[in-house]
Amino acid sequence: MTKKERAELIVSRLAELYPDAHCELDFSTPLELLVATILSAQCTDKQVNKVTPALFAAFPTAADYARATQEEVENYVKTTGFFRNKAKNIRAAAHDIVERFGGEVPRTLVELVSLAGVGRKTANVVLGNAFGLDEGVVVDTHVMRLSRRLGLTRKSDPEKIEVELIKLIPRSQWTVFSHWLIWHGRRVCPARTPRCEVCVLADVCPSARKLAAVAG
């Protein structure tokens, strides 16, 4: 089986398994998603969703974040880890949005990654989920782990993994493909104890075959 054929099977099966897959960060505007995604670095979506309702209520616009003091923003995000740097990046990104983009979150990859604290992953999250634009594949820890286990890449750098996945996955599915892998990673294929015995991808997964051979 070629890598392309394996990718097609994976897409087909995960689409059937997770028809409702979506971004699990709570948001109602592009700005809210941008802020939530910055906060999600090395933090669970569940924890981010606990702090964002109060944060979003206190700072409904980019101008509100830009005017806020470092301490004011920190007080809302302390439980997300690395909160000082995250608060700094949120304020700096908001300042750029106000000064350079008229207070509106930009809609291009180049403009988004020019904001403080925003890399390709965050930009792809915002473009795909807030704007419905498939400009890239979000490569978080789940996508990185599963794409390697499934034999879709041998790379370890997120941007190099994204390049390989873009070649294998139809553009219209770039955003949802990330959701499928994230959902599967959380529910079936965690880092330490993959549940290969119940996985719909086990027969096409090189890692599952290796584990089965060792167990046998």
Catalytic residue numbers?
121, 140
Q: Can you list the pairs that 38-41 forms with residues at least 24 positions away whose Cβ atoms lie under 8 Å?
A: 38/86, 38/89, 38/90, 38/93, 38/117, 38/118, 38/122, 39/77, 39/80, 39/86, 39/90, 40/80, 41/82, 41/86
Residue in the block written with tokens 């979003």 = 56
Taking the C-alpha atoms of residue 52 and residue 48, their distance in angstroms, rounded to an integer, is 6
CA atoms within 13 A on the CB side of 189: 26
Cα(50)–Cα(212) distance, integer angstroms: 39
- For residue 33, the tally of other CB atoms under 10 A from its CB is 24
Q: How far is residue 134's CA from residue 17's CA, in Å, rounded to a whole number?
A: 21
Nearest C-alpha neighbor of 30 from the set 86, 112, 92: 112
